[in-house]
Structure 1
Amino acid sequence: MQLAQVNIARFHHPLAAPEVDEFRAGLDPVNALADRAPGFVWRLQDDTGNAPALGSLDDPRLIVNLSVGESPAALRDFTDSGRHLAFLKRRRAWFMRPRHPSRGARVSLSFDG
């Protein structure tokens, strides 16, 4: 069973800011690994090969990543290992933490900060 995973995040700083240099520098290598990973099916991308350049919901600091794998295990094997895992561990340096909704609340795209 194929599985799609979507991630939505908001940067602390604009994508062009020096504080985001490490993230930008890692995009192409991590995306290249994803494209060759066992079980990879598809990922959202623009003409440059990156999803962040798509711009999202009229907020230049908001990015969306959508990936499809052959199975939940295939997605997990990629996201939880190697270079992607090292990249993932740095997410709090680049992205705001989303607010957690209270019980019964309608979920929206809101971020602290």
Structure 2
Amino acid sequence: MHLAELNIAYPKYPLDDARMADFVDNLVRINTMASKMPGFVWINKDESGHAFAQQTPWPGAAANLTVWESVEQLEHFVWNTVHKRFYNRKNEWFETMTAHHFVMWWVPEGHRPSLLEAKAKLDLLQAEGDSDEAFTWAHLPHVKLWQSQRCG
């Protein structure tokens, strides 16, 4: 099995606003780096080839959907690369969310989840909490970097 992950975010400003420039100007860089990481399998791209999809099942939100060979490889990318610097600045660019905005789930090798499948997993997580079907870092006791390295 491979690991699918989705995160959604509601931008505070239009993506072409100068206040979003540092985020937008580095999207391709971060996604290119991810695609070269050990364990990276796939990233969802919209019709125009953008990996930060703006046409999503969440009106006003943008989404990022990827597949990895293992949770450890995703964990390494998120917390041990330049990605972490941008993650730690997310409050500059995105609204604070009170509902779940990140979910992981297992998919068969070769499967490419859709945003609608990802929405169903996020909805399941929101309704029932962590389970074997839809989970967060907290559901994986052997994965610890999120506890010590996430932003406040």
The answer for the alignment partner of 2:106 in structure 1 is none
For the 8 Å contact 1:51–1:63, the answer to whether it is kept is no
- Quote the offset at 1:58 in angstroms: 7.1
For the 8 Å contact 2:3–2:69, the answer to whether it is kept is yes
Q: Which amino acid aligns with 2:26?
A: G
- Quote the offset at 1:37 in angstroms: 0.4
The answer for the alignment partner of 1:64 in structure 2 is 63
CA distance in 1, matches of 2:98, 2:89: 19
For structure 2, the residue ranges without an aligned partner over 5 or more in a row are 101-125, 128-152
Structure 2 SS opposite 1:52: coil
**C-alpha RMSD of the superposition:** 2.2
For residues 21-58 of structure 1, the C-alpha deviation after alignment (integer angstroms, 9 at most, x for no partner) is 00110101101101100000001113554233542247
For the 8 Å contact 1:45–1:54, the answer to whether it is kept is no
Structure 1 SS opposite 2:20: helix
CA distance in 1, matches of 2:70, 2:58: 32
Q: Which amino acid aligns with 1:65?
A: N
For structure 1, the residue ranges without an aligned partner over 5 or more in a row are 102-106, 109-113
For the 8 Å contact 1:27–1:50, the answer to whether it is kept is no
- Quote the offset at 1:74 in angstroms: 0.9
Structure 1 stretches (4+) deviating beyond 6 angstroms?
A: none
CA distance in 1, matches of 2:97, 2:40: 27
- Quote the offset at 1:62 in angstroms: 1.2
- Over 3 Å counting, the alpha-carbon distance change for 1:80 and 1:67 in structure 2 is same
CA distance in 1, matches of 2:66, 2:85: 18
- Quote the offset at 1:81 in angstroms: 1.4
CA distance in 2, matches of 1:50, 1:21: 16
For the 8 Å contact 1:39–1:75, the answer to whether it is kept is yes
Structure 1 SS opposite 2:45: coil
For the 8 Å contact 2:53–2:64, the answer to whether it is kept is no
CA distance in 2, matches of 1:33, 1:82: 9
Map residues 1-113 of structure 1 onto 2, 5 A cutoff.
1-57=1-57, 59=59, 61-100=60-99, 107=126
CA distance in 2, matches of 1:39, 1:8: 22
Structure 1 SS opposite 2:13: coil
Identity %: 32
- Over 3 Å counting, the alpha-carbon distance change for 1:64 and 1:58 in structure 2 is closer
TM-score (norm 1): 0.79
